[in-house]
Structure 1
């Protein structure tokens, strides 16, 4: 039986990587949304969004087709916590994101604790409230 050294086989977190036709634009969308910055790979096909949370990366995929939420073609999505859903909703739209569900502007004290959006490349993400009473 072969044993593996736990220090060399340990797996750690690196990033969430999103394929997109406009990798620079999608990276800038998330940097602006999250108050971060974009660091570009020298080859220009990989961009890192550096902010206070886990790293998000975008990579150039010229033939990328947007996920088709909610019809079953969603590969993954990101969840972000917000307290002021109305302000976050407006910010997403200003930056080129799209409201998917529901599409209308938020109203006070919604029953559901999340809203679904898409970034400019069509990747779904959610704005979620941290607690049930956070959207007063």
Structure 2
């Protein structure tokens, strides 16, 4: 018995389970949990839940279908709060710029450019479902 529960993974709500999973699969280099792969036989792709794993099979992110998802307005505090975001790190500024281009190419929206911060240069993005995430030099 342990004294604390163990965090298994982070779950993101979305109106497009496969679309958001594909975004993060490509962005982070993850793979589908066996059985969650896209159908190859033309059958409907109607999963309401799926999981991405790392190269060792450890669960990392899950995606859950919801009928409606209000888009976050953060960093504008007058609207819908972010409630949760992912922090992703890169080793240097060149990698930061490379990952910015990748994220935008995959469909992210840039929300904030704080690359002029000498202590912690970063970009804030929204994924295709509107969830914010940061990429910064650490």
TM-score, with length taken from structure 2:
0.76
Give unmatched runs, 5+ long, in structure 2.
Answer: 38-44
Aligned runs of 1:99-114 on 2, under 5 Å?
Answer: 99-102=110-113, 111=118, 112-114=120-122
Instruction: State the match for 2:9 in structure 1.
Output: 15
Q: Which runs of at least 4 in structure 1 moved beyond 4 Å after TM superposition?
A: none
Give unmatched runs, 5+ long, in structure 1.
Answer: 1-6, 131-136
Q: Once the 2 structures are TM-superposed, how far is the Cα of residue 92 of structure 1 from its aligned partner?
A: 0.1
Instruction: State the match for 2:129 in structure 1.
Output: 121
Whole-Å Cα distance in 2 between the matches of residues 99 and 15 of structure 1?
25
TM-score, with length taken from structure 1:
0.77
The answer to whether the 8 A contact 1:28-1:38 is kept is no
Q: How many residues align?
A: 120
CA RMSD, aligned part only? 2.6
